[in-house]
Structure 1
């Protein structure tokens, strides 16, 4: 112990010259570098084999005879391959960040396919940014940037068409589609609630966000979907301890009917004329009969 401590004391200036003092500090720094256990704050460089990640991705899903078929792709990405490729093409055309570029070392960066794949993987499965580092060879920071840029770009591209309330023309198309597919005239959507786990819920909120049939606190999402999965209404945030009818009473779904701005379309039910269509909901003990709740005069 005494020998170790003696290394950190300067030599006696009366015995050694200034040159020997400089050599002493150089030797001390060299010994510290040799004894470094990896706790240094210096950034460690890791070589990302981007080309290998792209080739693996292509071989799994996007070549002529891929390793995984269409059903596996839909299960893992929560969408069809055709829709996925359209999204890749749209974001690449509208945001230069998703375009393949050359870095400062004259090496190709990540391809648009890799960037969009990992962004959708995080959204579809809730994966952590560094979970597929060994598969796509993408660092955690780049994965986070992929998700941020992807969400911003998708909202910019598709918001004018999809993130809006349906117009009179949209309502007519919805009526025709549901009548043809489900044989239910004047139905303009399917209403349901789903639950999302809130694992990091603060302790003071756990009581109102817990339910007996769930292990973790949950947050409820109420949404209306069309036959082609157009979610034109979403209301998220009510505590999970509530039931579906309580969420319906809080949601702004019928706000346009209250202020008189909703599209009108006449429909007869049991020889009674209604000015609006109706929503299809799953019947349970919490719901009154369907026509009493959802038909809007």
Structure 2
């Protein structure tokens, strides 16, 4: 052999073991990726379950104390007392109906729908009265405004 034609003896076992280690690395990487993917899917499923469940109070959330009873009493004093603060024509202007009709609607809604009955909430506090709920509903219907704008007596 000439000096330029040197024969390099390559050990095929080294090449095969190198290929096997690369293949093992790729398979191990795929297993890691599959595990990460499965954990991600599990995390998303757990989050979806949590979103579908009802929760109690959450730490860090602001609580707005609403004195529903005082607001109910104010509403009753303003419009439904024997001598109300606002005269009947002002009630009619605000709700676009007579006070007697309004009271009949409240009684009918309370008798036929659980939503309009006053109940305790999860914390054990009394919710809004039927008069407050119907008052808000009627003002939304009469004026076509969002319910958020009718929180005067809520």
Please classify the TM superposition score into its range, dividing by the shorter chain length. Answer: 0.5 to 0.7
- Structure 1 gaps of 5+ residues are 1-41, 138-297
Distance 2:135 2:89 in 1: 17
Given the alignment, which residue of 93, 105, 114 partners 1:75? 93
| TM alignment of 1:87-126, pairs within 5 A | 87-126=105-144
Distance 1:112 1:83 in 2: 14
Distance 1:69 1:94 in 2: 30
Aligned residues: 95
Distance 2:66 2:94 in 1: 24
Given the alignment, which residue of 59, 76, 79 partners 1:61? 79
| TM alignment of 1:1-297, pairs within 5 A | 43-133=61-151, 135-137=152-154
Taking CA–CA contacts closer than 8 Å with sequence separation of 6 or more, which of the two structures ends up with the larger relative contact order?
2
Q: Give me the TM-score of the superposition, normalised by structure 1.
A: 0.31
Distance 1:97 1:76 in 2: 23
- Structure 2 gaps of 5+ residues are 1-59
Distance 2:85 2:117 in 1: 26
- Structure in which a larger fraction of residues adopt helix: 2
Instruction: Report the structure number with the largest CA radius of gyration.
Output: 2
Report deviation, 1:125.
1.3
| Alignment root-mean-square deviation, CA | 1.3
Deviations 1:90-119, CA, capped at 9 Å, x for gaps: 111000111111122221111000000000
